[in-house]
Amino acid sequence: MKKYFQSLVGPHLPFVHLRLKSGLKNVILDLFFHPIKRRIAKLYVYILQNYFGLTVIGITGSAGKTTTKEMLAGILKLKGNTVWSKENIDSVFNIPSTILKCFIDTKYLILEMGVEYPHEMDFYLWLVRPIIGVVTNVFPTHTEFFGDEKGVAGEKGKLISSLPENGFAVLNSSNILTKDMAKLAKSKVYYFDTNVDPTIQNSNTAKKVAEILKVSNDLIDKGLKTYQNPKHRLFQFQHQSGAIILDDSYNSNPEATLSTLRVFNKLAGNNKKIAVLGDMLELGKLEEGEHRRVGKEVSKSKFDVVIGVGILSRYLIDEVKKSKSKTFLVNDQKEVLSILLPLLSKDTYVLIKGSRSIGLDKLIDKLV
């Protein structure tokens, strides 16, 4: 029965993407409408690539891919008609929809190819073969399904091995698992300049792709200055109390959290600091160790208050308790506001980060 459903959904598509718990309408869409839509998108993008000169760029990575995509789109749309993934929905459903937004005069198509389960990249590459492949980094993400970082790298690396000889791979030279992907490439390989500041590194990545596409420096600079920062990703705003809040609540993994922590510490300086940190999910057997590792780094940052949100955050809070920080541990984001609001004042800086399903974006909505 499982194989029958998979054949209906489409080649290589993991069975997990049948949204059986989301109602009859979604099941019908998954089984009948989306398979037709995917096949139309596959044929359409093939025609655009081979007869109308469409350049397809695929971006994957454990962190930074959405911001890199937005930055690159900000640059390329200044040179030609550009279409890119915009909605924060599963790439399995988003990529076909994005392809079908193209016209015959579309010059660039930028696709975010996020992988959460084994064989997802196979499905994307069945749909479309990019000529430029970007891997921003590989961290412990979705290790519940991939086992470890090498498993994650193996899935993301399929993008690089699929590139044609006249294609281009753009890799992170400071991340050993992405650097090693150069061995998989038949294409030319380029490396972007790395930086401890994720915003700068993402802009360097977008810049490298633009340079490969022979975009002028003037357009690159203009595009990077005018791009729209994705919602809930390193977005800074001032609360009515005067407190400065760094909203990075869209998603989380250990390395991304540590990277955001470095940015926040630089921003906050010696001011009062508060952290609201939600569970980092889908880490499998690594979940306790990774939460404790992050907790140890948080301890070194000398926060005044740290609020852990979720079941797994107890491991993080256990480590933070060894410092002088005051700690709270709550079950979900609904309990945070009553703790946080009395602590907010001028000269206070707040970091908010956690995995998407923890719902810290809903907390942000109450603070804006």
The domain segmentation of the chain, as residue ranges, is: 2-226, 235-367
Q: Residue 368: helix, strand or coil by DSSP?
A: coil
Supply the mean pLDDT for the chain.
Answer: 91
The pLDDT-based confidence of 30 (bands split at 50, 70, 90) is: low
Between 145 and 81, name the one with better pLDDT.
81
**What percentage of the chain reaches a pLDDT higher than 90?**
79
Contact 253, 141 (CB under 8 A): yes
Instruction: Give every CB contact of residue 55 below 8 A, 6+ residues apart in sequence.
Output: 107, 108, 109, 131, 132, 213
Q: CA 180 to CA 193: how far, in whole Å?
A: 16
Q: How far apart are the first and last CA of the chain?
A: 48
240-252 average pLDDT score: 95
Q: What is the pLDDT of residues 33-58, one digit of tens each?
A: 788 899 999 999 999 999 999 999 99
The CATH class for the domain spanning 2-226 reads alpha beta
Q: Which residue has the tokens 């002088």?
A: 324
Is pLDDT of 4 > 60?
no
Instruction: Sheet with 168-172: list strands edge to edge.
Output: 82-84, 108-112, 55-60, 132-135, 168-172, 188-192
- Give CA separation, 1 vs 5, 24, 66, 92, 273, in Å: 6, 18, 36, 21, 54
pLDDT band at 21 (very low <50, low <70, confident <90, very high): very low
Q: Taking 80 as the threshold, does the pLDDT of residue 85 lie above it?
A: yes
Query: What 3-state class would DSSP assign to 167?
Result: coil
Q: Indicate whether 229 pLDDT > 90.
A: no
pLDDT tens track for 283-299 = 999 999 999 999 999 99
Give me the pLDDT at residue 100, please. 97
pLDDT of 24: 60
| Per-residue pLDDT band at 27 (split at 50, 70, 90) | low
Partners of 109 in beta bridges: 56, 83
Q: Which pLDDT value is given to residue 231?
A: 83
The hierarchical CATH code for the domain 235-367 is 3.90.190.20
The pLDDT of residue 8 is above 70: no
Number of Cβ within 10 Å of residue 42's Cβ equals: 16
Give the pLDDT confidence of 162-217 residue by residue, as tens digits.
999 999 999 999 999 999 999 999 999 999 999 989 999 999 999 999 999 999 99
- Tell me what pLDDT residue 3 has: 47
Distance CA(351)–CA(262), nearest Å, equals 11
pLDDT at 31 over 80: no
Q: Does residue 15 have a pLDDT over 50?
A: no
Predicted confidence band at 25 (pLDDT cuts at 50, 70, 90)? Answer: low
Say if residue 2's pLDDT is above 90: no
Q: Does residue 62 have a pLDDT over 80?
A: yes
Q: Is 71 exposed, middle or buried (0-12, 13-18, 19+ CB in 10 A)?
A: buried
DSSP 106: -
